Structure 1
Amino acid sequence: MIRNPIALALLSLTLMMNASAAEPEFVPPQRTDKCPVCGMFVYKYPQWVAEILYQDGSYAVFDGSKDMFKYYFAIERYEPAQHREDIAAIYVTEYYSNRIMRAEQLYFVLGSDVLGPMGHEFVPVKGKEAADAFMLDHGGNRILRFDEIGSTDIPD
């Protein structure tokens, strides 16, 4: 038991800072989770899963990065109670490793010959060299970071 009030205050402050700094964790899609953009069951496409986590603990899962971006640029259309400012984290599945990673850590290749569940897809890869190599193998017309993608970049 801590009896020193200063030590107790410092411990409380440290615990609060660590709790607020915790990174939101990816929530694996359930069998009943559908993509809010296209209506497909997401669990069927684990190699393409993308997810937006909100600060209130809710989330939206997608069958690919393309649909995630469609949703991201029109959140209020799909989920009127949410806004971009409410987003805690965005995850996508990295193409080569099939690992779930933060979207802002990856590069997205646009216009390749690799198709996802909904056709032409934004292919997330880790590192610029991997993105360049992917384009050599699969074509593509651009490599963009998450914050460089705009709503006009989304293919049909």
Structure 2
Amino acid sequence: MCDHHAPRPAFRADRRRLLATLPAAALLAGLGLPPAHADAGPVELPRPGPRDTCPVCGMFVAQYPEWVATVLWNDGEAAHFDGAKDFFKYLADLEKYAPGRTTDQIAGMGVTEYYGLTLVDARHAQYVIGSDVYGPMGHELVPMMTDVDATDFMRDHSGKRRLRFGEVDLPLLTGLDEGRFE
């Protein structure tokens, strides 16, 4: 009898292990678990008017639509910024820029992502620093909507670092103003 079609015992065991994991994999896929880093979704926030100025630097924000960032307060007031860097400076020192306000009064936050120029949820965006792309205030945190966008941008624009919302702090912002990207 010819035995060249008979599976080897090791193959049979590997196949059993694989088949045993399929129901678990199917179950996990059906749960709709989020990816490790969720993409930043679009947000609907008020757009800046022609006379709205950045509370951090004083520039007219509407002149830079590709860089707009916005904080919407729960009382309906909005603060607009000419880039993510000033947006983060504002959040880092609310006592200075928005006396009496606290972060728990924020109803929404958005940053304009680089490729689609869409206002996306600032908490879920990725930010690239140290690239060859400059904002109205020089070195900038360039917002990205997806992980793929951030990877492509890093490659295409010589980005030095990729950050999440919670990784941005005042020393990093000061470093950006000084041209440092550590």
**Where does structure 1 differ by over 3 angstroms across 4 or more consecutive aligned residues?**
none
Give the TM-score normalised by structure 2.
0.70
> Cα deviation per residue 1:7-48 (whole Å; 9 max; x = unaligned)?
xxxxxxxxxxxxxxxxx8400101110000110000000000
- Larger CA Rg, structure 1 vs 2: 2
Question: Could you tell me which residue of structure 1 aligns to residue 108 of structure 2?
Answer: 89
Alpha-carbon shift at residue 95 of structure 1 (Å):
0.2
SS of the equivalent of 1:72 reads: helix
SS of the equivalent of 2:62 reads: helix
Which of the two has greater strand per residue? 1
CA distance in 2, matches of 1:29, 1:46: 9
Q: Which runs of 5+ in 1 are unaligned?
A: 1-23
Is 1:125–2:156 an aligned residue pair?
A: no
Question: Could you tell me which residue of structure 1 aligns to residue 131 of structure 2?
Answer: 112
Q: Which runs of 5+ in 2 are unaligned?
A: 1-42, 178-182
SS of the equivalent of 2:114 reads: coil
Question: Could you tell me which residue of structure 1 aligns to residue 85 of structure 2?
Answer: 66
Alignment RMSD (CA, Å): 1.2
Larger deviation, residues 125-134 vs 43-52: 125-134
Structure 1 residues 1-156: aligned runs within 5 Å: 25-154=44-173, 155-156=176-177
Partner amino acid, structure 2, of 1:86: Q
Contact 2:60 2:82 in 1 (8 A): yes
CA distance in 1, matches of 2:92, 2:65: 23
SS of the equivalent of 1:69 reads: helix
SS of the equivalent of 2:85 reads: helix
Give the TM-score normalised by structure 1.
0.81
CA distance in 1, matches of 2:47, 2:60: 13
Percent identity among equivalent residues?
Answer: 48
Alpha-carbon shift at residue 133 of structure 1 (Å):
1.0
SS of the equivalent of 1:34 reads: coil
Alpha-carbon shift at residue 105 of structure 1 (Å):
2.4
> Cα deviation per residue 1:42-95 (whole Å; 9 max; x = unaligned)?
000000000011111111100000000011100110110211221111101010
Larger deviation, residues 126-135 vs 61-70: 126-135
CA distance in 2, matches of 1:26, 1:152: 28
Partner amino acid, structure 2, of 1:36: P
